[in-house]
């Protein structure tokens, strides 16, 4: 059986790995348009600094990534315990995010009325809406202050998105399910606590887990998968079209090469997939074009520690709510999260800028972007020093946005793809943007392909 996987990001690579684990004799190829595999997972070591261009880690709350790392014989690196300390820039200053519900209610992170409104969520009537924006859901259930100070920056941190457009059902499914299953969030947490006491199994409504990476950065995972696949991965192969040919598929590349297969899997960004599929299926083409990707830039700045005396960097970093009208989404203190991210005597900060909030800022030239970032760090953190190291990574199309009605788009895609036996779509544009989600979806799809023979 011949299988062609288009897209050499973590989804395409992990799918290829899982399929070969099930059947090492498969005639399988992975085609990647770029000269480098990995997609948004890209680690660069320069002048002693280890910079993550995109994804900086994964949580240990799902087993798939950890099991994959174990099979590849690479050891995950647990984040420093001090990085549990996180901040939100709120009301003009950095405020530590309380780590437990009791400490949250006792803190001044929110006003008394905002905290009482949160408690009042217990009495908010259940509304079983088919879908709702993150903003509408949060304001309705827990109040505007909680949304603006906590959930809005969270949406920016995960999706670089606009909570007035993001779907609660698709972005935070477990939270959405609490109302539909239990009648509300507090009622749901109480029910899960009872279930935990009864069964002994931990049930999470939020992401949970501890952040992990690898000593050499997240690209270690990509590099290890690629090496295990050997010559089955071809880079510089930009696919321009896919065609059904009898019981199989022909995949055409811009360099004139053509690949015949029994099964075709597209693991590319939605907008690229839309172009590949435009002549084969108009409905899939239309739906994929409805999934937006805002631009995002990541600015890595290295400083000598002595320049930052007086600043508390012994934490994870901070996010910035939209209500603060700042020009950055947040800053992570990478050298405090994982070891060996900066040379001895230096620190590494990583700032996100752009996204759905300020897309025009993401594509500024280097000089202007650095000026914006340094100005923001000065006003938010009190940082008043020139960096000793600078590196910018730009993503013209960064994170796919699960905007309102995303679940309906998935239903349309599934229905359309079902008409093409042996044709599959996968990747972070559909059912989860995190590394854990991509790998879990690859495991599930590999099982589906193996059990149904395509």
Summarize the confidence of residues 327-347 as an average pLDDT.
97
d(CA 452, CA 242): 22
Is residue 452 over pLDDT 70?
Answer: no
d(CA 261, CA 266): 13
Summarize the confidence of residues 309-335 as an average pLDDT.
95
294-395: CATH architecture: Alpha-Beta Complex (3.90)
Specify the 3-state DSSP secondary structure of 302.
strand
pLDDT confidence of residue 83: 83
Specify the 3-state DSSP secondary structure of 314.
coil
DSSP bridge pairs for 211: 59
Q: 242 Cβ partners below 8 Å, 6+ apart?
A: 6, 249, 250, 251, 252, 264, 266, 276, 277, 280
For residue 452, the tally of other CB atoms under 10 A from its CB is 9
pLDDT confidence of residue 280: 96
Q: Kindly report, residue by residue over 406-439, the tens digit of the pLDDT.
A: 999 999 999 999 999 999 999 999 999 999 999 9
In the structure, what pLDDT confidence band is assigned to residue 223 with cuts at 50, 70 and 90?
very high
d(CA 371, CA 379): 12
Summarize the confidence of residues 216-226 as an average pLDDT.
98
Is residue 321 over pLDDT 60?
Answer: yes
CB neighbour class for 144 (10 Å; exposed up to 12, middle 13-18, buried from 19):
middle
Structure tokens at 45: 């070591």
d(CA 372, CA 286): 37
pLDDT confidence of residue 206: 58
What are the b/e assignments for 401-429, b being 16+ CB within 10 Å? Answer: bbbbebbbbbeebeebbeebebbbbbbbb
**In the block, residue with structure tokens 């348009």:** 33
Specify the 3-state DSSP secondary structure of 143.
coil
- Average model confidence (pLDDT) across the chain: 94
Integer angstrom CA distances of residue 166 from 163, 215, 270, 404, 426: 5, 34, 17, 6, 20
In the structure, what pLDDT confidence band is assigned to residue 134 with cuts at 50, 70 and 90?
very high
Whether residue 324 contacts residue 71, with contact meaning beta carbons closer than 8 Å, is answered with no
CATH class of residue range 2-35+229-291+402-452: alpha beta
d(CA 300, CA 355): 17
pLDDT confidence of residue 260: 96
Pairing of strands 2-6, 263-266: parallel
Specify the 3-state DSSP secondary structure of 21.
helix
Structure tokens at 439: 């790998």
Summarize the confidence of residues 390-419 as an average pLDDT.
97
In the structure, what pLDDT confidence band is assigned to residue 207 with cuts at 50, 70 and 90?
low
Summarize the confidence of residues 152-166 as an average pLDDT.
95
Integer angstrom CA distances of residue 246 from 115, 249, 261, 278, 421: 62, 8, 11, 18, 11
d(CA 120, CA 186): 9
Helix (H) or strand (E) holding 424: strand 423-425
Q: Kindly report, residue by residue over 64-113, the tens digit of the pLDDT.
A: 999 999 999 999 999 999 888 999 999 999 999 988 878 888 888 999 99
DSSP bridge pairs for 268: none
pLDDT confidence of residue 106: 85
pLDDT confidence of residue 84: 87
Task: Report the CATH number of the 110-199 domain.
Answer: 1.10.3110.10
Summarize the confidence of residues 174-181 as an average pLDDT.
94
DSSP bridge pairs for 318: 87, 331
Is residue 13 over pLDDT 60?
Answer: yes
- Kindly list the domain boundaries of the chain, sorted by start residue: 2-35+229-291+402-452, 110-199, 294-395
Query: What pTM does this model have?
Result: 0.94
d(CA 33, CA 254): 9
């Amino acid at each position: 059986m011949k299988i062609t996987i288009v897209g050499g990001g973590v989804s395409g690579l992990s799918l290829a790995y899982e399929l070969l684990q099930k059947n090492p004799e498969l005639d399988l190829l992975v085609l990647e348009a770029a000269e480098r595999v990995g997609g948004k997972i890209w680690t660069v070591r320069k002048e002693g600094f280890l910079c993550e261009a995109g994804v900086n880690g994964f949580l240990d709350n799902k087993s798939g990534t950890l099991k994959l790392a174990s099979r590849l014989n690479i050891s995950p690196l647990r984040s420093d315990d001090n990085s549990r300390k996180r901040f939100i820039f709120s009301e003009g200053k950095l405020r530590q995010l309380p780590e437990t519900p009791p400490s949250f209610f006792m803190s001044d992170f929110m006003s008394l009325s905002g905290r009482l409104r949160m408690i009042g969520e217990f009495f908010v009537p259940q509304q079983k809406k088919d879908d709702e924006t993150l903003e509408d859901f949060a304001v309705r259930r827990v109040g505007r202050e909680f949304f603006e100070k906590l959930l809005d920056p969270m949406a920016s941190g995960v999706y670089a998105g606009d909570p007035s457009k993001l779907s609660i059902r698709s972005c935070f499914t477990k939270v959405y399910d609490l109302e539909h299953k239990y009648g509300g969030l507090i009622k749901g947490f109480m029910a899960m606590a009872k279930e935990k006491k009864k069964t002994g199994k931990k049930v999470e409504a939020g992401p949970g887990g501890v952040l992990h990476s690898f000593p050499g950065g997240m690209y270690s995972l990509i590099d290890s998968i690629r090496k295990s696949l050997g010559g089955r991965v071809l880079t510089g192969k930009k696919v321009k079209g896919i065609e059904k040919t009898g019981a199989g598929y022909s995949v055409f590349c811009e360099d004139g090469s053509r690949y015949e297969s029994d099964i075709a899997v597209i693991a590319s960004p939605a907008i690229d997939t839309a172009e590949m599929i435009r002549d084969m299926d108009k409905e899939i083409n239309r739906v994929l074009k409805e999934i937006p990707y805002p631009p995002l830039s990541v600015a890595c700045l290295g400083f000598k520690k002595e320049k930052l005396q007086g600043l508390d960097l012994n934490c994870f970093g901070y996010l910035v709510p939209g209500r603060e009208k700042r020009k950055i989404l947040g800053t992570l203190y990478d050298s405090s999260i994982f070891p060996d991210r900066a040379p001895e005597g230096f620190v590494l900060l990583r700032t996100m800028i752009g996204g759905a909030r300020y897309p025009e800022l993401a594509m500024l030239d280097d000089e202007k972007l650095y000026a914006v970032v340094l100005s923001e760090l000065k006003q938010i953190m009190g940082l008043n020093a020139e960096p000793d190291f600078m590196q910018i990574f730009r993503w013209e199309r960064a994170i796919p946005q699960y905007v309102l009605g995303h679940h309906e788009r998935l239903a349309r895609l599934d229905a359309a793809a079902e008409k093409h036996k042996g044709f599959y779509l996968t990747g972070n544009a559909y059912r989860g943007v995190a590394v854990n989600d991509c790998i879990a979806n690859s495991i599930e799809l590999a099982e589906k392909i193996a059990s149904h023979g395509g």
